[in-house]
């Protein structure tokens, strides 16, 4: 079972879910308000804190609860199709997982931490996350600036001007 302290939930889960949502949804041209995504990430972070600190479930079950709750919160708050939100969040998770794996390998080598020891060490987890976060913020800026879109899920929306035709 995975254990998480309250400060890990706040300083890791909230920014992690925020970045996953922003990257994933933007890659599918689904624009959200930053405040709505941040509110969703904060609520998901509180739920994560409760699940991992109090209930202590398996990490796979924790991820599924976090993933579905974050998708539902964004879909509800931002008035987006739930399926589109799940697709965007899944892509955001894939991007996050790739960069997390790369940064974790770097942190383990740089700080000479045994690969099994990092799970129980919150300081190493924070270092690995913030290295990942810096890379993801740069990636998000590139996605926004260059308007990188994998598939346009927003094309099905009808503009207010086109409703009359």
pLDDT in tens, 88-108: 999 999 999 999 888 878 877
**Which of 128, 136, 95 shows the shortest CA–CA distance to 111?**
128
pLDDT tens digit sequence for 51-69: 877 777 777 888 888 899 9
Q: Are 124 and 113 in contact (CB under 8 A)?
A: yes
**Interatomic CA distance for residues 23 and 88, integer angstroms:** 8
How would you label 71-103 residue by residue, b for 16+ Cβ within 10 Å and e otherwise?
bebbbebbebeeebbbbbbebbbebbeebbeeb
pTM of the model: 0.84
């Amino acid at each position: 079972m995975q254990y998480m302290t309250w400060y890990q939930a706040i300083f890791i889960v909230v920014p992690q879910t925020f970045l996953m949502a922003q990257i994933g949804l933007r890659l599918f041209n689904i624009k959200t308000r930053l405040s709505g995504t941040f509110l969703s990430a904060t609520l998901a972070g509180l739920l994560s804190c409760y699940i991992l600190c109090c209930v202590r479930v398996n990490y796979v079950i924790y991820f599924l609860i976090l993933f579905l709750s974050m998708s539902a919160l964004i879909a509800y708050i931002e008035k987006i199709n739930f399926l589109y939100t799940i697709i965007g969040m899944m892509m955001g998770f894939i991007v996050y997982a790739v960069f997390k794996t790369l940064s974790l390998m770097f942190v383990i080598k740089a700080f000479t931490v045994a690969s099994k020891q990092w799970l129980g060490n919150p300081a190493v987890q924070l270092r690995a996350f913030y290295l990942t976060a810096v890379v993801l913020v740069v990636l998000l800026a590139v996605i926004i600036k260059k308007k990188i879109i994998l598939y346009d899920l927003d094309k099905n929306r009808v503009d207010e001007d086109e409703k009359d035709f």
